[in-house]
């Protein structure tokens, strides 16, 4: 039986493997071996258990990333039979980046974006704590370029949370000057926007060397250009002094 076939192994074995996969204090090779065995079993229950590797981080950042990439590879190799398990995971769990990337590889960007936006809808219902999950999801959106993602990012640029707005701006910049610049100019012209966000925007404009010439008059009239920046002759943002 191949590595990604259905193989042998029932509920009892899967339960034992789950303990190894979810033991963040265990050795990396033990978790990797357990993931391999779950991929070999290949049942829906086994794939759901494999997905639990995305629910925690280990202390070793490099090993953690390698393990998650390996779990991602197993999901992609499982193909469409992994999609129901991934959909269930994304609807209830937080660590959805790698599972969504797997969906993108297996069935395409449209389905991945649909699940990503659903996860974001769920995150926006969380109350009573700083919403780190929402911030993380918005940061993930840059890797799922799509018209629906772009429209959601535009709305997120008005989110009350500074971190969410920063991540939304950062993701929008990946769509290029035509789509991004009007949104970026709006953030600068918003007199209620925080200096922190405006600083991020101006630094990005310097790095990208985009011209804001068409917005020069509006920006100068509104007096929203921070004192440590200026618009140069070609409409490109420069550091003052």
132-170 pLDDT, tens per residue?
889 999 999 999 999 999 999 999 999 999 999 999 999
Stretch (H or E) spanning 11? helix 11-21
**Contacts (Cβ under 8 Å, ≥6 apart) of 96:** 54, 89, 90, 115, 116, 119, 137, 140
Rounded CA-CA distance 188/201 in Å is: 8
Rounded CA-CA distance 116/160 in Å is: 21
| Partners of 238 in beta bridges | 230
Q: What pLDDT score was predicted for residue 14?
A: 96
pLDDT (mean) for 42-71: 95
pTM: 0.87
Rounded CA-CA distance 96/11 in Å is: 25
Which structure tokens are listed for 3?
């590595």
Q: What pLDDT score was predicted for residue 4?
A: 43
Question: Does the structure show a pLDDT above 60 at 220?
Answer: yes
Q: pLDDT tens digits, residue range 75-93?
A: 999 999 999 999 999 999 9
> Could you tell me if 138 and 120 are in contact, meaning their C-beta atoms sit under 8 angstroms apart?
yes
Nearest CA-CA partner of 83 in 67, 95, 101, 68: 101
pLDDT (mean) for 45-73: 95
Q: How confident is the model at residue 129 (pLDDT cuts 50, 70, 90)?
A: low
């Amino acid at each position: 039986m191949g590595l990604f076939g259905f193989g042998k192994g029932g509920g009892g074995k899967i339960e034992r493997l789950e303990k190894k996969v979810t033991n963040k204090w265990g050795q990396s090779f033990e978790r990797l071996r357990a993931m391999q065995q779950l991929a070999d079993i290949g049942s829906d229950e086994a794939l759901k258990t494999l997905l639990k590797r995305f629910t925690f981080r280990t202390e070793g950042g490099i090993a953690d990333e390698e393990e998650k990439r390996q779990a991602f590879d197993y999901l992609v190799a499982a193909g469409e039979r992994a999609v129901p398990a991934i959909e269930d995971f994304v609807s209830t769990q937080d660590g959805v980046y790698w599972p969504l990337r797997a969906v993108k590889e297996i069935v395409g960007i449209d389905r991945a974006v649909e699940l990503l936006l659903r996860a974001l809808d769920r995150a926006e219902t969380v109350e009573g704590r700083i919403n780190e999950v929402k911030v993380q999801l918005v940061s993930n959106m840059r890797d799922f370029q799509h018209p629906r993602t772009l429209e959601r990012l535009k709305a997120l640029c008005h989110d009350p949370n500074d971190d969410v707005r920063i991540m939304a701006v950062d993701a929008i910049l990946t769509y290029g000057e035509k789509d991004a610049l009007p949104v970026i100019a709006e953030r600068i012209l918003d007199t209620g926007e925080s200096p922190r966000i405006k600083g991020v925007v101006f630094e990005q404009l310097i790095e990208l060397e985009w011209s804001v010439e068409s917005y020069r008059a509006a920006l100068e009239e509104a007096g929203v250009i921070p004192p440590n920046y200026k618009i140069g002759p070609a409409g490109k943002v420069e550091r003052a002094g």
